[in-house]
């Protein structure tokens, strides 16, 4: 009788004890979260956004002083040796975001053609148009230029026409902009009205076109971050004055809401 009771208890216990489910999340092996991937194509004005400070999985193809058509036709030896050459990068890996930077020497038609080719290789990527910026001496003149049928100038008219044509040709794709030229124009206007913590635009530049690490590069790095959907960051900018940082951040946040075009 006692033996039968023990057997009954063992059977009942077996039915009451939960069986481990191998498909439960708590029992599944941990998986590493996939990082968002970014690829930047341009020249030293892309390099001035400091791609290495961006978050996520980041590669680039940077060739000094070159336009997009030149980079497209001559990808073999970019000046930045840490570059991942675009033919290999865009054919072997699918990125979440691609940044492209038109520059002096190209026409609207050429820029549209080259960017469209890269878009075909990256059918799911969000494309960011990095405007770069003009030489300091011609910034205001270029910004006011309405011409779009000649070679590139760093003006809202040129980049609006470029975006419009890309959207016409690729209506389902998403485009964003860094709006670097708009940021510089607003700073120039703030300097004239004494609303900026700078005496002149030269305080942002280290030469005729490139940006200083302590000022202009912070601005351009974070303009790129915002266009890529990343938060503003001061990592690596230990010499940036607090007054400059606060001014730039206010400017960046005001422009961040209009970086997307789709």
Q: Which domains does the chain have, with CATH numbers?
A: 37-256 (3.40.50.1110)
Q: Comparing C-alpha atoms, which of 79, 99, 242 is closest to residue 177?
A: 99
15: which 2 tokens? Answer: 């039915």
Whether 258 shows a pLDDT value over 80: the answer reads no
| % of the chain at pLDDT higher than 70 | 85
Mean pLDDT for the stretch of residues 217-239: 97
Whether 4 shows a pLDDT value over 80: the answer reads no
Whether 140 shows a pLDDT value over 90: the answer reads yes
Alpha-carbon separation of residue 108 from 116, 158, 164, 223, 227 (angstroms): 12, 8, 11, 23, 22
66: which 2 tokens? Answer: 């070159």
Q: Comparing C-alpha atoms, which of 218, 52, 222, 208 is closest to residue 130?
A: 222
Whether 260 shows a pLDDT value over 80: the answer reads no
Mean pLDDT for the stretch of residues 82-98: 98
255 band by pLDDT with thresholds 50, 70 and 90: confident
pLDDT computed for residue 34 by the predictor? 81
Mean pLDDT for the stretch of residues 139-156: 97
Residue 230 DSSP class: P
Q: What is the pTM of this model?
A: 0.86
33 band by pLDDT with thresholds 50, 70 and 90: low
Alpha helices (runs of H) in the chain, residue ranges in sequence order: 2-16, 44-47, 68-73, 86-92, 108-121, 139-144, 156-169, 180-192, 216-227, 242-256
| Counts of helices then strands in the chain (DSSP H, E) | 10, 5
| 139 contacts 133 by C-beta, under 8 angstroms | yes
């Amino acid at each position: 009788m006692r033996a039968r009771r023990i057997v009954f208890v063992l059977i009942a216990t077996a039915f009451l004890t939960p069986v481990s489910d191998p498909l439960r999340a708590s029992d599944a092996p941990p998986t590493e979260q996939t990082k968002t991937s970014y690829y930047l194509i341009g020249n030293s004005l892309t390099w001035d956004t400091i791609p290495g400070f961006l978050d996520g999985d980041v590669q680039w193809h940077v060739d000094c002083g070159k336009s997009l058509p030149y980079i497209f036709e001559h990808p073999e030896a970019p000046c930045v040796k840490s570059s991942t050459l675009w033919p290999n990068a865009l054919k072997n890996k699918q990125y979440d975001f691609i940044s492209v930077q038109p520059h002096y020497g190209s026409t609207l038609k050429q820029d549209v053609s080259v960017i469209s080719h890269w878009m075909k290789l990256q059918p799911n990527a969000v494309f960011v148009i990095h405007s770069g910026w003009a030489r300091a001496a011609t910034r205001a003149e270029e910004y006011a230029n309405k011409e779009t049928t000649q070679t590139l100038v760093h003006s809202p008219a040129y980049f609006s026409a470029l975006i419009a044509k890309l959207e016409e040709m690729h209506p389902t794709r998403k485009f964003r902009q860094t709006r670097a030229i708009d940021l510089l124009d607003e700073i120039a206007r703030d300097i004239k009205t004494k609303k900026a913590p700078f005496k002149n635009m030269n305080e942002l530049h280290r030469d005729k076109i490139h940006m200083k690490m302590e000022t202009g590069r912070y601005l351009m790095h974070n303009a790129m971050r915002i266009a890529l959907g990343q938060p503003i960051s001061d990592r690596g900018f230990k010499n940036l004055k607090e007054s400059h940082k606060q001014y730039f951040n206010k400017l960046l946040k005001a422009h961040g809401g209009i970086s997307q075009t789709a």
